[in-house]
């Protein structure tokens, strides 16, 4: 293994190997997608959820919206009833501006893309609450 790593770093191993940044990024993306899909399955089985949005700029000065979901999961196993409250990170969403209409469109598009039903949302929380107060989400969709 040491010899393989040495030859790869020296460029002697041509072709595919697992040290290439593209391969590492692909593996990271696959793991992230798997985690997100598991969270979505858990969340959808719980049915009702709340969403919390926070905002921050990344290093390139792009405003990012952080999406966190809360939900309660109930299970029964061998007569034992277990209730767990989950608070899980679903992702960062770039936002072009902080107008309430833009933020609402970004959130609604995210929910639609992830097939999360808006009618099952039971709570909303925002760091940028002053921007969101002018418009309420229509839970009838």
Calculate mean pLDDT across residues 92-98: 87
In a domain, 138, yes or no: no
In this structure, what token pair is assigned to residue 141?
């969709």
Domain of 81 in residue numbering reads as 2-132
In a domain, 114, yes or no: yes
Answer yes or no: is pLDDT of 93 > 70.
yes
Lowest mean pLDDT among 8-17, 28-37, 57-66, 95-104: 8-17
- Residue 2 pLDDT grade (very low, low, confident, very high; cuts 50, 70, 90): confident
- C-alpha separations of 136 from 2, 14, 87 in Å: 59, 56, 23
End-to-end Cα separation, the chain, in angstroms = 56
- How many structural domains are present in the chain? 1
Q: What is the pTM of this model?
A: 0.71
In a domain, 141, yes or no: no
Task: Give the Cα separation of 92 and 73 in Å (integer).
Answer: 24
Strand 49-57 and strand 80-94: the pairing is unpaired
Calculate mean pLDDT across residues 59-84: 89
Backbone φ, ψ for residue 75 (5° rounding): -135, 155
In a domain, 140, yes or no: no
Burial class from Cβ neighbours inside 10 Å (0-12, 13-18, 19+) for residue 127 reads middle
């Amino acid at each position: 293994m040491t010899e393989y790593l040495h030859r790869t770093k020296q460029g002697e191993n041509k072709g595919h190997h697992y040290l290439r940044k593209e391969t590492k990024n692909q593996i990271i993306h696959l793991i992230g997608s798997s985690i997100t899909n598991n969270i979505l399955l858990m969340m959808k089985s719980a049915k009702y959820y709340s969403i919390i949005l926070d905002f921050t700029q990344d290093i390139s000065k792009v405003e990012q919206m952080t999406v966190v979901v809360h939900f309660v999961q109930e299970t029964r196993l061998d007569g034992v009833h277990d209730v767990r409250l989950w608070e899980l990170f679903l992702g960062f969403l770039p936002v072009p501006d902080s107008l309430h209409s833009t933020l609402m469109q970004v959130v609604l598009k995210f929910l639609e893309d992830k097939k999360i039903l808006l009618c099952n949302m039971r709570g909303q929380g925002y760091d940028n609450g002053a921007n969101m107060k002018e418009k309420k989400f229509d839970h009838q969709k």
